[in-house]
Amino acid sequence: MTSLSSTASSLADVTTSDAALRRFLHGLPGVDQVGVEQRVASLATRSIKTTAKAYALDLAIRMVDLTTLEGADTPGKVRSLGAKALRPDPTDPTCPSVAAVCVYPDMVPYAVEAVTTPGGRLHVASVATAFPSGRSSRSIKLEDTRDAVAAGADEIDMVIDRGAFLTGRYLDVFEEIVAVREACARPDGSRAHLKVIFETGELQTYDNVRRVSWLAMLAGADFIKTSTGKVQPAATLPVTLVMLEAVRDFRASTGRMVGVKPAGGIRTSKDAIRYLVVVNEVAGPDWLDPDWFRFGASSLLNDLLLQRTKMSTGRYSGPDYVTLD
């Protein structure tokens, strides 16, 4: 069995051939399905202080990637989304902005315009690489990425080739992630951050989720992301827990932190706080930051704002969960 205490240099060796990468990924410890699901259930049962509820709601708002990924998206819709991202509650100047706006590549210029203020701007994320299917040639995927970066995207959310992964062509998946990461480069030497989407609802097992998490991190992912939001099941707490264990162990092995983004199906403040609890308990408090944990969501923000207003009036109806402080 592969040791998770491997040095960074020895981890680099596992990507030198398809056989070496396969040995490493299949040598990772297996995931105890019952244990993962029982742990998730247990983390949703503890009490939380009122001050921690308020903190958790604001933190969750700051972690939202406010998203529109529809064929009917228009510049006007994206501009409205950007305005909401900057001022989620126009009546309350203490309400924080969200982390980013996430759109299709052709909508990036409108998103950049919408979230730019005299004091700076929010991040703009763009899906790429033939989202959501990932079914196109590599040259098209790379051009898709370069176009989004040139238009001003700060972050690229790519999708892996699930067919390649599920048939064991791990090196193909690895090399494509590396190539997309290189396509995130800007002329000034900086680059857009890369989020790698697994579409976990198609990966069949928790063991596959652990393997693909390590594969993406070895290839240089800045974030690993559960889903496109177009396939069910999308994000789940057990899958996210497995991914959080992977980023925790990867940091222990290499010293490099990688973010996690569950996306799809997270609609209520109750859901969001459950995720924050799992982040804190599994990966640790360093990940309780928008730089390291995001929610891919469209409807979640509305409920967070509703519960935030209810907190201020004493009518909060959210969960009594474990404290985050």
CB-based burial label for 207 (10 Å; 0-12, 13-18, 19+): middle
Q: Which position among 195, 225, 271, 303 bears the catalytic label?
A: 225
Q: Which position among 84, 141, 195, 261 bears the catalytic label?
A: 261
Given strand 295-297, what is the order of strands in its sheet? 259-261, 223-225, 193-197, 155-159, 123-128, 100-103, 64-67, 295-297
Number of Cβ within 10 Å of residue 94's Cβ equals 8
Q: Which position among 65, 144, 154, 157 bears the catalytic label?
A: 157
How far, in Å, CA of 211 to CA of 14, rounded? 13
**Residue 225 falls in the annotated catalytic set:** yes
How far, in Å, CA of 67 to CA of 164, rounded? 27
DSSP one-letter code for 134: T
**Residue 195 falls in the annotated catalytic set:** no
**Can you say whether the dihedral through the CA atoms of 54, 85, 150, 159 is positive or negative?**
positive
Close Cβ partners of 52 (under 8 Å, ≥ 6 residues apart): 323, 324, 325
Residue 185: strand pairing partners: 191
Distance of CA 157 to the CA centre of its chain: 9
**Residue 310 falls in the annotated catalytic set:** no
Q: Which residue shows structure tokens 């790379």?
A: 142
How far, in Å, CA of 178 to CA of 269, rounded? 35
Number of Cβ within 10 Å of residue 316's Cβ equals 18
Residues forming the active site: 157, 225, 261
